[in-house]
Amino acid sequence: MIDSMIEVTTTYLQQLSPGDLLPSSRSLPPGARIERVAAITPEFSRFLYRGVGSGWNWSDRLSLTRAAWESLMQTPGTETHVLYVDGAPGGYVELAGRIEDSGTGVEIRYFGLFPHCIGRGLGGVLLTEGIARAWDLDSRFGGFPPVSRVWVHTCSLDGPAAIPNYEARGLRVFRTETELVEPGDGAAGLWPEESLAS
């Protein structure tokens, strides 16, 4: 439907050296930790994706079957790091390493915080850890050459802090694209609407 199309700008950012990482000056508060999920299930991955992305119209994976989701999670070079705050998930980073001409390129495929953690200074700390783990991803996957770049893309539908956070961590813009898209509804089925009648 042409009337539901909106203009979306996608911004691509990258680092070409681990020395480009500018760590957050903050540290995790007491009761918080970041942990790699060694054997992530499709159910847990989908839970993270929905919990973080529902407010930003993340919908590209919602039509995947369980088998397709599991296949993505089991692809060599793919890993998930979860931020826990007082025992509950507060955000995550999903990395995807792929062999490129110059070495291993690692995409920060998904990154974000659950709504209750936004605005608490946790995004920079989580992103710092995600980028650091991207740079040493080849050490955890045999057969991958050394990492030569870490990259991410974000779009104008994502949170307003996305690009400033990426740039604050030393990622630099290398390409932008603008296109008309029909956005999906990342919140569909997440929570029922509040009833106006009581």
Tell me if 155 is assigned to some domain.
yes
Q: Can you give the pTM of this predicted structure?
A: 0.90
CATH code of the domain containing 54: 3.40.630.30
What pLDDT, on the 0 to 100 scale, is given for residue 60? 87
Tell me if 165 is assigned to some domain.
yes
Residue 69 is part of which domain span? 2-181
In this prediction, the residues of the chain whose per-residue pLDDT falls under 70 are 1-3, 183-198
What pLDDT, on the 0 to 100 scale, is given for residue 8? 86
Tell me if 22 is assigned to some domain.
yes
Tell me if 88 is assigned to some domain.
yes
Tell me if 191 is assigned to some domain.
no
Where b means 16+ CB within 10 Å and e means fewer, 3-19 reads eeeeebebbebbbeeee
What pLDDT, on the 0 to 100 scale, is given for residue 159? 79
pLDDT in tens, 144-160: 999 999 999 998 878 78
What pLDDT, on the 0 to 100 scale, is given for residue 192? 52
What pLDDT, on the 0 to 100 scale, is given for residue 22? 97
CA proximity to 7, closest of 152, 177, 187: 177
Q: Which two tokens stand for residue 173?
A: 């813009």
Are 91 and 135 a contacting pair, CB within 8 Å? Answer: no
Tell me if 60 is assigned to some domain.
yes
What pLDDT, on the 0 to 100 scale, is given for residue 3? 60
What pLDDT, on the 0 to 100 scale, is given for residue 193? 53
Calpha distance 74→55 (Å, rounded): 27
What pLDDT, on the 0 to 100 scale, is given for residue 187? 65
Tell me if 29 is assigned to some domain.
yes
For the chain, the domain total comes to 1
What pLDDT, on the 0 to 100 scale, is given for residue 4? 80
Q: Which two tokens stand for residue 182?
A: 């029909």
Tell me if 124 is assigned to some domain.
yes
